[in-house]
A and B are shown apart, each in its own frame.
Chain A
């Protein structure tokens, strides 16, 4: 459920990038204070690679013909501690976006928030660590991992839906989008949760001391700094989104008007008075006033046929120029060789 650049608007993407950057700075500062910081680095690096390697193995799920693999956040947090796990997850997501085309540079902040902040810095310290802390046992490991993974994925999916809707690029109504994303991720969450629990139980049985890094004294559920960072992040998100919502006629407002139109209900609370005034003001100031797209002189689709022909020609010229450059380069090499 990686967000991609194509589905995110610059306002949402950059706002989330700033948030992610702030959280990273906060967590780096925390790790630096740790007297074993230099030891944490190789541990985090190898753990990051472990997530990649682990995701390579798809386990057959009996009776379904499908398969599942591990997720990341909760397993990492249990192995290396919440704060290092977050940083590791950030690295994993950056590599996925750069080298595996999974996610995107602009959408990186969204992905770090959905798959890093949520599982490692919210769900794990607040929910999973307390469950684990009351004396480690198989049951506690299973319940904690299952709950943790499922909740992380549900919140992450909610994040994806909200970020996509605020970006105003897809037409799916909020409810429909959410109603598809949440059940899918519930299923994925159960499978990932089971696998995470199995791995942690195995590691606990084999080498209980490896899970020691995640014990509560090493990861206090809420350090002041972390809370401050998250609070700042929230303010930036809220600020960014408000600015976005007020400058862009798309996004939430559009999502709401879409859903109300579908269900036949009116926009909440009379369209007269102040609301009407605000609507009028927005319609005159906004670049693309509501629903003026088709058949309007400033239809963003541009003049239809001529535009399409132009697009086709552009494509041909672009591809052609690439081809010409390749040819010239090849010819140049042949003459040099000869």
Chain B
């Protein structure tokens, strides 16, 4: 049985981190967004065996984590989420790509092992980049930025509402699971034959809540128009930082170690 409260805490943890006040947190959200995307695309563009050339990119997560004062306990644990599929898809490389890459003393490292290591390193770098972005940018700033980038209003509103309601519905799930546990003895989890009433009940409650939320929102003058909020201008220093970091990330692509 999953620990629902742990997941709620997990979600809140990122939210709390994003409210910090460091040089990275204060950076304009647009700058962080662009740098993150450039970083991920550049990292993904390396070939299958580029493990060594990829290592300089480790500076990015290490330095940002330190500058933003993020704890590895919160951010690091999430890196493991992507691990199973990467291992599943990448482990085949070890068996199908047995040509030797190089030898370390008497130990021969095959190209397959090298490419699996490259996949895992890429996974680490990309996941960290995305997590650092959300752990240093408050959710409202992020969606406001998306709005300025002309992402459709409907999409952004659904995005915001889903994010806000995850916590609310998690609480309902916790209540349902607790009730089930108290009445079912030491079972491993709800039996699949109870899935209908379990999730069905949750669905009915959730949809009713949507109805009430809609009425409440209408009462407060909600419509599909964008809310007015002062735009935060880009400072010259931020533009310079953006250009420099992007140049560094792209420049490293053409630089090989060894």
**Chain A residues within CB distance 8 Å of chain B:** 1-2, 4-10, 13-14, 24-25, 28, 31-32, 37-39, 41-50, 52-54, 56-62, 67-68, 70, 79, 87-88, 90-92, 94-95, 97-106, 164, 168-173, 176-177, 191, 194-195, 198-199, 201-203, 206-207, 210, 250, 258, 288, 293-294, 299-311, 314-315, 317-319, 321-326, 329
A95 touches B166 (CB 8 A): yes
- CB < 8 Å neighbour of A60 from B120, B188, B223: B188
B40 touches A307 (CB 8 A): no
B173 touches A104 (CB 8 A): no
- CB < 8 Å neighbour of B162 from A48, A62, A104: A48
Q: B residues within 8 A CB of A300?
A: 47-50
Q: B residues within 8 A CB of A103?
A: 82
- CB < 8 Å neighbour of B204 from A13, A59, A177, A207: A207
The answer, yes or no, to whether B234 is at the interface (CB within 8 Å) is: no
A306 to B85, CA, bound (A): 31
A92 to B14, CA, bound (A): 17
Q: B residues within 8 A CB of A202?
A: 196-197, 199-201, 203
Residue on B nearest A164 in the bound complex, by CB = B89
A206 to B89, CA, bound (A): 43
A61 to B187, CA, bound (A): 12
A79 to B114, CA, bound (A): 46
Closest 8 CB pairs of A and B: A45-B161, A202-B200, A304-B102, A307-B258, A198-B196, A48-B162, A322-B62, A49-B165
Shortest CB-to-CB span from A140 to chain B, Å, is 16
A32 to B157, CA, bound (A): 13
B134 touches A59 (CB 8 A): no
Shortest CB-to-CB span from A91 to chain B, Å, is 5
A301 to B53, CA, bound (A): 9
Residue on B nearest A45 in the bound complex, by CB = B161
Q: B residues within 8 A CB of A25?
A: 152
**Given known contacts A5-B43, A68-B192, is B58 in contact with A42 (CB within 8 Å)?**
no
A309 to B102, CA, bound (A): 13
Shortest CB-to-CB span from A106 to chain B, Å, is 5
- CB < 8 Å neighbour of B169 from A53, A105, A169, A258: A53
**Given known contacts A48-B165, A56-B170, A304-B101, is B48 in contact with A169 (CB within 8 Å)?**
yes
| Complex interface bits, B133-150 against A, C-beta within 8 A gives 1, otherwise 0 | 110000000000000000
Q: B residues within 8 A CB of A52?
A: 162, 166, 169-170
| Complex interface bits, B85-101 against A, C-beta within 8 A gives 1, otherwise 0 | 11001101101110111
16 A–B pairs (Cβ distance < 8 Å), ordered by A? A39-B214, A46-B169, A50-B203, A54-B199, A58-B1, A91-B159, A91-B162, A105-B36, A106-B41, A170-B89, A199-B195, A201-B200, A203-B203, A294-B99, A294-B101, A307-B52
A198 touches B195 (CB 8 A): yes
B119 touches A7 (CB 8 A): yes
A307 touches B257 (CB 8 A): yes
B96 touches A173 (CB 8 A): yes
A282 to B1, CA, bound (A): 55
A303 to B51, CA, bound (A): 12
A305 touches B104 (CB 8 A): yes
Which B38-61 residues sit within 8 Å CB-CB of chain A?
Answer: 40-41, 43-45, 47-53, 55-56, 58-59
Shortest CB-to-CB span from A241 to chain B, Å, is 16
Q: B residues within 8 A CB of A43?
A: 207, 210-211, 214
